[in-house]
Structure formats: structure tokens, C-alpha cells
Amino acid sequence: MLDVQKDMPDVAIPIDRVGVRSVRMPLCVRDRANEKQSTVAEVDLTVDLPSSFKGTHMSRFVEALENWEGRISYRAVRDLLASIRERLEARSAQVTFRFPYSIRKKAPVSGAMGVMSYDCVLTGVLDERLKPEFTMEITVPVMTVCPCSKAISDEGAHSQRTLIHMTLLTDGFSWMEDFIELAESSGSSPVYTTLKREDEKYVTEHAFANPCFVEDVVRNVAKRLKEHPHLRGFQVQVESMESIHNHNATASIAYNFS
């Protein structure tokens, strides 16, 4: 059958990435508490395209995903990337998984249980060197109390929810829980799904005893990430949803170990 994709394009310019985006599929990820958990991911699959080809074969991306085991591990993702490279006859292949990761979390005093959900992204790239590179992204909410507001006020201080977004260049396996706990310990207080009155009292008092600027939070996270044994580099962006301003506050740090 005629293969139009292999025709010469009208404009002979190579394409960096071409493929399919937001393919929904069930996914199994490793879980520190229960060994594994099931979630639903949106998956992007792309390859490079040389200037001599008019188009790529979109159906082959989905076929590779359908034949894949649907589990996040170094070997499994490497095998998926290798399959895409081979099927599409490409120099490099990239896969991105976007999914919620859930952790059952106890309230600090009552012990009431609640499920916290964290937005995660895992990206893998495989090129002709045949050594896959992985990037993990995790967004973690925390509470922050403004040190300036506390210092200048007779009573109270303004507080807000703050998002910590970590982009991690990994060099070996690490539990996502490790990075989540690292981030949660870097603000004024973690946040929780379920809180009884005694928990609210504790969280409020704990947060006000540990006020943090957005600058403090990003530095705290960066300091802890620098001590992690399985990272090649990272970028941390912190965004505070300011409660008394009509804008947000932000700070970021990038670091490469090489």
C-alpha cells in the first residue's frame, strides 16, 4: 500500500519531536507502602523526524503502547522507548507520563486518615547512545506563614497554601514518597486532607512557629535535594498563592551536579 509518510516533504526541515499526546491508559507505579498502586496516566509518545520524510506513522505509537506492560520501572520504560525507536526507525524516542500519585496520610494528632494526591510527571528519552535518561516532576502543596507579617503584627500573620514544583534528573531508583516528604518538611507545615479540631490547632500553631518566605522554602528544598544520592541535577520552583495580595510570589533554583 502507498506510504505517503515516506515521501519527500515540500519543506525539507527536520522535526525535533512528532507523535501522539494525551493517550489515556491505566498505569501501575511503585508504592513504598503497598509495593504498587494503580493510577490513570496521560501519555505522550514522540520521536524525531528527518528532513527526508513527509510524516511519521502515528498508529505505531499507539501499537507500541498497547503491547507494553503498563508498569513504571527503569526496565519497562526503557523497553517501551526501544520499541518506539525501532517501530518508527527513529534516532531518538521520548515518552512522558502524567498521573496522580496517592498517599494515605495521618492527621498529626488524631491520626485520622485521608488520601493526598500529588501531580507527577515522568519523562524518559532514549537516543542512539542507548542509555535512557529520566526526569521526574512532582508538585507538592505546603502551608507557609509570612515571617514579615508575623514580626510586624501585634496578633497573627497572613498564611497561604504554597506549591513546590520539583524537576528531578534522576540517576537511579528513588521513592516518590522521599521527595514528597522532603518538600513537605521545607515549608511552615504540611497540608492534610482530613483534620479534626485538635489537628487544626496543632497545624496552626506549628506553622506559626515556623514562618517561611517563599525564598526560605526554595532554599530549604534545594539544600535537601543537594544531599540526595540519586540525582544528577534539579530545578525547584515555589509559588505562593498570596492570601493578602492580588498576585502570587515565586522563587526558583536550578542545580547541576556535574
DSSP string, 85-97: HHHHT-S-EEEEE
Secondary structure letter of residue 10 according to DSSP: S
Residue 120 forms part of a structural domain: no
Count of structural domains, the chain: 2
Per the structure, the complete domain to which residue 213 belongs is given by: 132-258
Q: Grid coordinates standing for 244?
A: 493578602
Residues 140 and 93 grouped into a single domain: no
Residues 179 and 240 grouped into a single domain: yes
Residue 117 forms part of a structural domain: no
Higher pLDDT, 81 or 1: 81
Residues 70 and 141 grouped into a single domain: no
Name residue 24's amino acid: R
pLDDT above 60: residue 67? yes
Residue 144 forms part of a structural domain: yes
Q: Give me the mean pLDDT over the 113-140 stretch.
A: 95
Q: What pLDDT is stored for residue 2 in this prediction?
A: 64
Residues 86 and 23 grouped into a single domain: yes
Q: Give me the mean pLDDT over the 49-57 stretch.
A: 83
pLDDT above 90: residue 115? yes
Taking the C-alpha atoms of residue 43 and residue 25, their distance in angstroms, rounded to an integer, is 8
Q: What is the pTM of this model?
A: 0.92
Report residue 34's pLDDT band, with 50, 70 and 90 as the boundaries: confident
Residue 110 forms part of a structural domain: no
Residues 57 and 177 grouped into a single domain: no
CATH of the domain at 56: 3.10.270.10
Helix (H) or strand (E) holding 189: strand 189-190
Average pLDDT of the chain, as a whole number: 93
Residues 192 and 251 grouped into a single domain: yes
**How are beta strands 133-145 and 93-106 bridged, if at all?**
unpaired
The residues, ordered by sequence, that sit 6+ positions from 59 with a Cβ below 8 Å of its Cβ are none
CB atoms within 10 A of CB 14: 12
The residues, ordered by sequence, that sit 6+ positions from 253 with a Cβ below 8 Å of its Cβ are 218, 219, 221, 222, 235, 236
Q: Give me the mean pLDDT over the 47-57 stretch.
A: 85
The last residue of a domain, from among 97, 121, 149 = 97
Residues 180 and 75 grouped into a single domain: no
129 and 113 Cβ atoms separated by less than 8 Å = no
Residues 142 and 251 grouped into a single domain: yes
